[in-house]
């Protein structure tokens, strides 16, 4: 099993040259859902396949579960089969958003189906290009296969479970959105702004340094430790707008050695599906 959820571009270059890894390009832009795939076709890490956040890493046909509902077992199995993946084959995901859109999402989904040989490329596409490493264009060539996977839903927090846990005070809910959205000052995507009552803001961007790499494990451990206080990592639940950037905070905690937190998959957009659910605004 890999020791860290993160991998450097130098390490990936060595693995990719040896052909020992499946590289997945997860670039995505919320304002232009087709841009990531166009960018992939123009240039990507050699041998990579493309994962689309809306079509592969979500199932938008599922209603009442937020803007990016989790794919079911059949959809995940079909995606992985199309790439020729088999359990135990190492997967490296990357994007151009520090892992937030949507490399961390793929990494988390692979964890949910029991695959621990999965990592996110630290620094992503920008770090690969900055290192002067080779790229290729086009759809890429990969051999399809057949695989069947099942999501372990113990790693996912749903609406009912979250509401009950918040009522008991047994969880710490960390919201990965930026401060203005959390406080309800702006809301570009969902029905209203604000946050789930009791949530604490931890913008995912704070996991990164100015050059788009993750902070050191020690720095992340200190920052999350201050947020957790008396809470154990297993009592932490991550949320965001639709269950995507929340995975970035979970990834950061794992990189810090704080294992066991989970994701509230419907997140803010799912919470708002029922107008009766309370909305909090302002700073905590």
Q: How far is CA 136 from CA 22, 38, 115, 171, 202, in A?
A: 15, 13, 27, 45, 36
Q: Look at residues 101, 65, 112 and name the one whose alpha carbon lies nearest to residue 268.
A: 65
Q: Which helix (H) or strand (E) holds 39?
A: helix 35-42
Which DSSP string do the residues of 192-256 spell out, in sequence order?
S--B-TT-EE--GGGGB-TTSPBPPHHHHHHHHHHHHTT--GGGEEEE-SSSSTHHHHHHHHHHT
Residues 6+ apart with CB under 8 A from 199: 173, 174, 175, 182, 239, 280, 284
Q: Measuring CA to CA, which residue among 121, 67, 69, 57 is closest to residue 95? A: 121
Question: What is the DSSP track for 173-194?
Answer: EEE-S-HHHHHTS--SSSSS--
Beta bridge partners of 216: none
- Given the structure tokens 């803007």, which residue do they identify? 67
Helices 246-255 and 217-228 cross at an angle (nearest 10°) of: 110
CA distance 112 to 149: 9
- Concerning whether 240 is annotated as a catalytic residue, the answer is yes
**Quick one: tokens of 136?**
């290729």
Catalytic residue (one of 147, 240, 246, 252): 240
Is-contact 119 20, C-beta < 8 A?
no
- Give the active site residues: 240
């Amino acid at each position: 099993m890999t020791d860290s959820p993160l991998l450097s571009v130098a390490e990936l270059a060595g693995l990719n040259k040896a052909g020992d890894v499946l590289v997945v390009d997860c670039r995505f832009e919320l304002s232009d859902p087709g841009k990531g795939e166009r960018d992939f076709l123009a240039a990507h890490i050699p041998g990579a396949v493309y994962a689309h956040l809306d079509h592969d890493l979500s199932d938008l046909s599922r209603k009442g579960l937020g803007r990016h509902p989790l794919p079911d077992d059949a959809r995940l199995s079909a995606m992985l089969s199309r790439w020729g993946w088999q359990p135990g084959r190492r997967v490296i995901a990357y994007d151009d958003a520090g892992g937030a859109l949507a490399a961390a999402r793929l990494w988390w989904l692979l964890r949910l189906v029991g695959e621990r040989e999965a990592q996110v490329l630290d620094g992503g596409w920008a770090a690969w290009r900055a290192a002067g490493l080779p790229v290729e264009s086009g759809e890429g060539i990969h051999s399809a296969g057949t695989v069947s996977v099942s999501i372990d839903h113990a790693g996912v927090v749903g609406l009912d479970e979250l509401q009950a846990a918040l009522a008991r005070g047994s969880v710490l809910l960390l919201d990965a959105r930026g401060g203005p959205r959390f406080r309800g000052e702006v809301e570009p995507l969902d029905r209203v702004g604000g946050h789930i009552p009791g949530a604490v803001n931890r913008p995912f961007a704070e996991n990164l340094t100015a050059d788009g790499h993750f902070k050191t494990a020690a720095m992340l451990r200190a920052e999350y430790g201050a947020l957790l206080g008396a809470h154990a990592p297993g009592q932490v639940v991550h949320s965001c707008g639709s269950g995507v950037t929340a995975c970035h905070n979970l990834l950061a905690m794992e990189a810090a050695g704080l294992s066991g937190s989970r994701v509230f998959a419907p997140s803010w957009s799912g919470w708002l599906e029922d107008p009766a659910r309370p909305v909090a605004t302002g700073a905590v």
